[in-house]
Amino acid sequence: MKFCYLIIICLYPTLSLGTGKAQGTTTGKWWGVASSQQKSNLVVNRAGVPVVVDQTPLNKKQRKLIRLHPGSLSAITNSVGMSKTECKWQFKERRWNCPTNKNDRGGRNLFGNILESGCRETAFIYAITASAVAHSVARSCSEGSIETCNCDYEKRGKGGKGWEWGGCSDNADFGSNFSRKFVDAGEKGRDLRYYMNKHNNAAGRRIVTDNMRRECKCHGMSGSCQVKTCWMRLPTFREVGDILKERFDGASQIAQTNNGHNRGTRRKKRIKHFESADPQHKHPTASDLVYFEESPDFCELNKKVGSLGTRGRQCNNTSIGIDGCDLLCCERGYRSEIEQVTERCSCTFHWCCQVKCETCVTQRTVHTCL
């Protein structure tokens, strides 16, 4: 009886509450592929394209996926840089400014200990990294960098009045499916954090596919545009970041409860449905970012929670927003210093082909948090 009892416990899926950590997960380790992609770690195909990394933080499913799609490794590596750059840009004026570890080799610590918390900053990180994989892979397909995919040629023939499908549409569907298989392969467990991560991954990918735009080129005598050929183009990754930043500000806090949702049965596919922490708020949609723990205030240095503090940060003394000195400096005050800035000015073009500039020295006041 004890043996049977243990089997039932192992098979019955539950939603763990409490710490919010994704227990036993390898989530985020794939971020280390950017730092581990060195020549000694690569296997290349006949064309010299990197196929798979021998010693990386990738799990078996992720390595298998790269083997199936030669050339995808470079796209994944590129996506890590994309997500880091965009995250820093979007939060450059916030208390939490998306700090990253420069010498991270394992991947898991790339964004620091903030990932130990199920807060909204963690939600953004998962969404931006998943969307970066989808975006980078889709673009690589269009460029012919991945052997198993190319342009999206499903849109062919008559499109609308005065235009038709043609050209090379970005393969957003392939990129999104690849991102789902690759990124979500790092998620393990059945606790609330597991579902939070997967939801935010999907929300990030959705931004890419939902914001494709149609671009067209005119054909005809003297630009008469008698016929237009159109194709679908990915949004810029800055556009993806801007939308995700809006979703971050409006993120939904979910309840730490397992009253029937996220459960399902072994016979049926799970239906992941979150309850809002505030009963007065509606349930989050598939496009919303979700979190279940409050964020630190990020005012003081606390590496345990991923906070570097704001001491020494430059602030805007005329702003009443989060970048203003009162809020950014957490009401500790700030000092103002005058510094000299040397820059090029009064530039003129001389035929042919030089640009000559003068050197100007100006003064500016810099405000720094105490």
Local confidence pLDDT in tens for the 370 residues of the chain: 444 433 333 333 334 444 444 443 446 678 887 666 554 455 556 566 666 555 567 888 999 999 999 999 999 999 999 999 999 999 999 999 999 987 655 456 789 899 999 999 999 999 999 999 999 999 999 999 999 999 998 877 777 777 888 889 999 999 999 999 999 998 887 788 999 999 999 999 999 999 999 999 888 776 677 788 899 999 999 999 999 999 999 999 999 874 434 443 343 445 457 888 888 888 899 999 999 999 999 999 998 888 999 999 999 999 999 999 999 999 999 999 999 889 999 899 888 788 899 999 999 899 999 9
Range 133-156 burial, b when 16+ CB lie within 10 A, else e: bbbbbbbbbbeebbeebebbeebe
Domain 317-370 classified CATH 3.40.640.10?
A: no
Domain ranges of the chain: 13-101+109-309, 317-370
- pTM, entire model: 0.83
Residue 364 forms beta bridges with which residues?
339
Residues 6+ apart with CB under 8 A from 253: 276, 277, 278, 290, 291, 292
Q: Tokens for 182, please give them.
A: 């690759």
Q: What are phi and psi of 113, to 5 degrees?
A: -75, -5
